[in-house]
Amino acid sequence: MVSYGLRKFRETMMKKILTFVLLIGLISGCSGEQESSNSADAEYKTYKWRLVTSWPKNYPGLGMAPEKIANLVEEMSNGQMQITVYGAGEQVPAFGVFDAVSSGSHQMGHSGGYFWKGKVPAAQFFTSVPFGLTADEINAWVNRGGGLELWREIYEPFNIYPIPAGNTGTQMFGWFNKEINSLEDVKGLKMRIPGIGGEVLKEAGGIPVTLPGGELFTALQTGVIDATEWVGPYNDLTFGFHQAAKYYYYPGWHEPGPMLELLINMDAWNSLPKHLQVIIETATKAVNQDTLDEYLARNNQALTELVEVHGVELRKLPDDVIEEFRAISNEILSDLAEEDEVIGKVYDSYIEFKNNVTEYHKISEDSFIEARNK
């Protein structure tokens, strides 16, 4: 027989256990309701974000790309996501976009990765490197060749989520106040040219200068610089460089297919419900292609006006100058890959992809273009 005392003990313990189980169930239920409530709040709340850029406000192509992204996102989200775009200098300097997004002071930014070479040297590969990938090729490498995964990996420590967000296509080499007939003419030349292209110019004896777009005309006109690259005829005509320089040189060996980037603060990105993330990705992908289409459709018309109306002298760089730039570029890229493990990882992926598409282009696009243009 079980003693009375033992029976009372068991009854007391069972009551405590039942009470504990009921409390756990109540807490779990409340937690579930809270979690569900928070999830619902995220699903239906309105998000108002700020996007800062490195471009003049509403500037054709470059400056309108983030505006188009903002408009598409608001329309696709039925107004749930509202993005206000600020041009360079309106809230942060042109080259302050990366830090603004990284710190979270602004949720989004639009710029070019080679501007951050001092912070993230490997970022330059995701804009453009000399004698590198064309616009179609860099799109393919980033989206289908492993580039995007590397890009997000190297930006993650800075709390930034990048998305491809536009491309200008192959650029012009730029505007010059003197002729370039030989390598001697490059020596001592003060030229606005960013990224690894600037390093190549420096090795060739020139003096690279980094300036935001809004300062270029005055710098060229007043002699602060002797030459400047910017984009191509469509944008260069808008800035009126033909009023400050006589010679317009090609090819744009330094930027064969420069990709723009949408930068998103990682904490802000993770706070979004999934459907808004998908909307942003989709809208940006659409604008990435639309921007390239815009430049391809507008450049030759603008070039014709520059030459036939404004009397600009269109010049091709001498072959020996191009060959020297190529040799210097290959050496710089190789050295960077050996000196920096992260750059090396990106470089290996980039070069392998470049070599693969180059081989196929020899019998496809290259041979067709040669046949078509004879």
Domain containing 71 equals: 46-167+257-296
- Among 69, 50, 58, which Cα is nearest to 260's? 69
Strands 108-111 and 247-250: unpaired
- pLDDT score of 38: 53
Domain CATH for 58: 3.40.190.170
Question: What is the pTM assigned to this prediction?
Answer: 0.87
- pLDDT score of 39: 58
Say if 29 falls within a structural domain. Answer: no
Provide the greatest CA pair distance for the chain. Answer: 115
* Domain match, 86 and 207 both: no
Q: What's the whole-number average pLDDT of the chain?
A: 91
Share of the chain above pLDDT 90, in %: 88
Domain CATH for 180: 3.40.190.10
Distance CA 319, CA 179 (A): 14
Please check the confidence at residue 98 and state whether its pLDDT lies above 60.
yes
* Domain match, 63 and 102 both: yes
- pLDDT score of 20: 40
Say if 251 falls within a structural domain. Answer: yes
Strands 108-111 and 259-265: antiparallel
Bridge partners (DSSP) of residue 174 are 249
Share of the chain above pLDDT 70, in %: 89
- Is there a contact between 192 and 229 (Cβ–Cβ < 8 Å)? yes
* Domain match, 53 and 150 both: yes
- Is there a contact between 303 and 241 (Cβ–Cβ < 8 Å)? no
Say if 302 falls within a structural domain. Answer: no
For 219, counting Cβ atoms within 10 Å of its Cβ (0-12 exposed, 13-18 middle, 19+ buried), the class is middle
- pLDDT score of 206: 98
Among positive and negative, which fits the CA dihedral 278, 282, 288, 291? negative
Please check the confidence at residue 222 and state whether its pLDDT lies above 70.
yes
Average pLDDT over residues 277-305: 98
Instruction: With cut-offs at 50, 70 and 90, classify the pLDDT of residue 44.
Output: confident
- pLDDT score of 43: 74
Instruction: With cut-offs at 50, 70 and 90, classify the pLDDT of residue 25.
Output: very low
